[in-house]
Amino acid sequence: MEDFSANMKQLLQVISNYRQYLKLEKSLSLNTLDAYLLDLTKLTDYAKSINRSVLEITLQDLQGFLAELHDLGIHPRSQARILSGIKSFYHYLLLEELIENDPSRLLDGPKLGFHIPVFLSVEEIDAIVQAVDVSTPEGVRNRAILETLYSCGLRVSELTGLKISQLNFEDQYVVVDGKGSKQRLVPISECCIQLIKYYLTERGAVVIKRGAEDTLFLNRRGAGLSRVMIFNIVKKYAELAGISKNVSPHTFRHSFATHLLEGGANLRAIQAMLGHESITTTEIYTHLDKSLIRHEILEYHPRNK
């Protein structure tokens, strides 16, 4: 019993140190950090069920863990994300010399099919934005939110964290706090600037809560908006516009990238504006307009001249 308590105490200390490592050295966002620790909890529960500590886990044990995730009906993409978190943990244990060999090194992830993200046409985006009734202060805010999502290709967390001090109307760009506390500059359209300026006149009438003075988009109580509220806003106006696709805030980000590609922007520029660390992540958008690709081949391939 004493050994069990000592092992548990050691494990809790290791996990606490790992959390600090993710936060300080990897600069992960709170959402990503929580996801990694939740994945680790799944593994510790599995290890307990086979009477092992996560510090004693073998490759075969990890294969059994993945098989159990599969049997539970966990989607392959979720399995892959969990595996990524597990690999990160064992990499940390190896760095700290808490284990001699990384049992996850040879662990294969689930096979993933090619996933084409849902995106909207320019006309569909316009229909959603136009569905907002701007006769109310809330409507003025919501139209500015939708336009900012689309014009800047922001993640939900980036939108809710956007600050007034990060807007540069004169030079038409916004400073965005992206993943891992990395900042990037994103151009902002004249249309979006006008909507935000209009919203700022309405925002002045709100009693702002302490700590939210610089937060751009506020709720009626003067506090920042939650991720759930942004999802609800997008869903509401997509339904009002009669859009049958499964639309989320991320759909606006996908549409932003798609329309840039269709307009002739190169992948490196799109990568920079989206804040992708790897160009591979951005390359998913190269499939999106088959007619555009067909036109490019017919126009520029030497065999067609």
- Catalytic (active site) residue 250: yes
- Catalytic (active site) residue 287: no
Q: Determine contact, residues 2/10, Cβ cutoff 8 Å.
A: no
Q: Which of 179, 184, 227, 235 is catalytic?
A: 179
Return the structure tokens found at 22.
């993710």
Q: Which of 18, 46, 92, 285 is catalytic?
A: 285
- Catalytic (active site) residue 285: yes
- Catalytic (active site) residue 235: no
Q: Which of 141, 143, 203, 253 is catalytic?
A: 253
- Catalytic (active site) residue 236: no
Q: Which of 155, 203, 254, 259 is catalytic?
A: 155
- Catalytic (active site) residue 268: no
Q: Which residues are catalytic?
A: 155, 179, 250, 253, 276, 285
